Amino acid sequence: MELWGSVSFRSCKVPLTSIPISTQVGREYLENITAVGPRTVGSPENEILTVNYLLKQIKAIEIESSDAHKISVDIQRPTGSFSIDFLGGFTSYYANITNVVVKLEPRSGAKHAVLSNCHFDSVPNTPGASDDAVSCSVMLEILNTLSKSSDPLQHAVIFLFNGAEENILQASHGFITQHRWAKSIRAFINLEAAGVGGKELVFQTGPENPWLVQAYVFAAKHPFASVVAQEVFQSGIIPADTDFRIYRDFGNIPGIDLAFIENGYIYHTKYDTPDRILTDSIQRAGDNILGMLKYLATSDKLAKSFDYRHGNVVFFDVFGLFVLAYPARVGTIMNYIITAVTVLYLGKKILQPRNRAINYMKELSIAFGFTLLSWFSTLVTVLIVAVFISLIGRSLSWYNHFYVSIFLYGTAAAAKLILVHTLAKKFYYKNTNEQYLGEMFFDVSLLVWSIALVLITQLGLCSAFICAMWVAFPLLTKLLTYREFKQKGATIRFVVIYMLGMFIPYLYIMYLTWTIFEMFIPIMGRSGTEIPPDVVLAAFILSSTVILSSYFLNFIYLAKSTKKTLITLTTVFGVTLILVCSGVFFPYSSDSANPKPKRVFLQPMPTGGPPSPHDSCLRCLGESHQADKCHICKAFKPRTKKERDFRLKQLIMEAALSLVPSSVHRDSALSSVRSAPVAPTGPALHSDSAKDSRRRGLPGTSTTVAPVPVSWPEEEAAQAGADCFFVVSLIATDTSRAGAESIAGAHRTSNGSCTVHSGAARAVESGAC
């Protein structure tokens, strides 16, 4: 059995004489890549300009490299197809997409390699600075740094700049299944983004290769990692996927997945610009990835990576200072030991004279029932508020004002919890000793978390470490304060010691909660129309409130009165609810410094038989819950291209008007439509499922993405309102694999791709791809 952890250890095999990365050079790379403009698959910007720039920089790095290394460059243009179980499942076909592959190896060559992966393509209408140009920039600078080092590497490092990730992971599939260097890869690092800048979070590892986490623990200078994020992401709650999945499933290679998560509001929008990425973010990512690549490229474990595949690992950073990591099987043993100690603590109270033991068991069961009742009633209350807000059309009022969610759902949850326990104290426990009640409800919280610890451990989830922390620290604190509380009650000294004992777990839970909030709040604005985002957020805030209040419920029974607290919470909730219902909190923002735009797809599409640009309609597809009302489909038959463009402009502006959730903002909505008529130039084939087609009153179709020739004067552009992506659809009827390939071939030029969706139209709408 192997147990390991680290605070500041470093492997002696990591070269120490290498040149540190230059953030100035890295930023220059970033500026130059994004200056090309949006880099959609199949476009000249993606297939020619960006590729030529990368090759030019790689050639310059090769010229200045040390004699200890050999650099090989290859341009791959794979063609292939694959099926993937993502958002309902679909089959993807691609042809002649572009990969730029660079191998850095010892002069004598190497049998084994570690892969570093990024992608240089972007979604339409965005510079793609964070997703994923900054990762390309970091990798170029790391290649530059490693190549100048005089220390030879033990293994090769392959840098893959893939050119078709946004088309749903096509380029990585083409590389790992067809490239001649793929067979030598033993591990990989994938650089991604779910936000713009900030810290890069390790949110996937393995599978079952704890030595990779160990490498991150030892080599990363600025750790930010959590097994909780890994299990949340792999549960499918987040409608997204990365190249990690391709390398894992099609290459059977273990790896580490990192992503920028800050400011996801402007992820996949035109605001994803290089000026929003701080130099510190480039420095952090560069230091971490460089350290890991050096560690892996000089590690004996890389050559025998399959020999170290023995179970999962529990890992989490402690406030960004260091990472704690240990094998999951060790965590299971620890969890059961903690549970056993809790059972001994509670068992000591049960092993009393029979009458006292029976009475304690009875009171413990009743207190447990009151706790469950408080949770259930709070859940019902908060969900009623969330559903009400959704029904009156005020969803996402907190999207641009995060504090609104706390004032609305947090205060409601806290007030209801306190109210239930206050009523229990006043009517049921009217003549019961307060100290006895305080100790009883502490024991209930301890019991609840012990049960949760056992259940989550049994499910094999590494996130059980949170429950272990939530049992071990309170139990230790209780044992330290037992004598003081028993003899003198809730004195100031008792409260101080109690708070100090609970400080670490509470601080960590708040740190973790904020990280999850930072990831999920922006996602709620692009999660589609199926699930009301207010319900999801309300449930999450409720869960956070229940967790944070667990070991403070006993103070309700120790306090003389909760009247002022209840009045304050109720007042804040009431005022916030009135303001939300009146439409004061507009969900979106056009603030140039911190924009939070609304996302919409406007889809001009033919209405007749054969594809024709002169017989079209406009359909509006929403990425957010509020856009569910806007399924506009208006036919028009323009006689000329100029008339067609003008009619499209009118319909787009009308669609934007209908998307404004409050009449208060309707007057300014006309000037809120952005002139962003950029669409994919590389075809991408989609088909609505029959269910989704019936819901919109449209026939089940396969559609091929093409450019949208819409333009209008710049002065009519706006700085607020709806962030629009424009997609033209050409009708096709054959959704089989062979049909997909023939349709794609008919519309493809030199580069292109297609995707046949089976029951996954929501992926097209939500932009999760």
Active site residues: 165
What distance in Å separates the CA atoms of residue 55 and residue 64, rounded to the nearest whole number? 14
**701 neighbors 731 (Cβ within 8 angstroms):** yes
What distance in Å separates the CA atoms of residue 623 and residue 621, rounded to the nearest whole number? 7
What distance in Å separates the CA atoms of residue 238 and residue 367, rounded to the nearest whole number? 37
Burial (Cβ within 10 Å: 0-12, 13-18, ≥19) of residue 656: buried
What lies within 8 Å, CB to CB, of 627 at 6+ separation is: 529, 598, 600, 620, 621, 659
Residue 118: what are its φ and ψ, rounded to 5°?
-145, 175
- Helix residue ranges per DSSP H, 220-278: 227-234, 243-251
Phi-psi region of 584 (alpha: psi -120 to 50; beta: other; left: phi over 0): alpha
Element (H, E) at 70: strand 69-76
SS3 of 263, please? coil
How many Cβ atoms sit within 10 Å of the Cβ of residue 637?
13
How many Cβ atoms sit within 10 Å of the Cβ of residue 154?
16
Q: Are strands 185-193 and 702-706 parallel, antiparallel or unpaired?
A: unpaired
The sign of the CA dihedral 758, 764, 768, 769 is positive
**165 neighbors 98 (Cβ within 8 angstroms):** no
Element (H, E) at 387: helix 354-391
Say how many Å lie between the first and final Cα of the chain, rounded. 41
124, two tokens: 């339409």
Q: Dihedral, CA atoms, 287, 34, 189, 762, nearest 10 degrees?
A: 140
What lies within 8 Å, CB to CB, of 18 at 6+ separation is: 145, 146, 148, 149, 151, 290, 294
DSSP state of 258: E
**155 neighbors 43 (Cβ within 8 angstroms):** no
HEC secondary structure over 411-467? HHHHHHHHHHHHHHHHHHCCCCCHHHHHHHHHHHHHHHHHHHHHHHHHCCCCCHHHH
**Sheet strand arrangement including 80-84:** 80-84, 90-95, 752-757
287, two tokens: 């230091």
HEC secondary structure over 549-576? HHHHCHHHHHCCCCHHHHHHHHHHHHHH
**222 neighbors 199 (Cβ within 8 angstroms):** yes
Side-chain-facing half-sphere of 89: CA atoms under 13 Å: 4
Q: List the beta bridge partners of residue 617.
A: 605, 635
What distance in Å separates the CA atoms of residue 196 and residue 130, rounded to the nearest whole number? 5
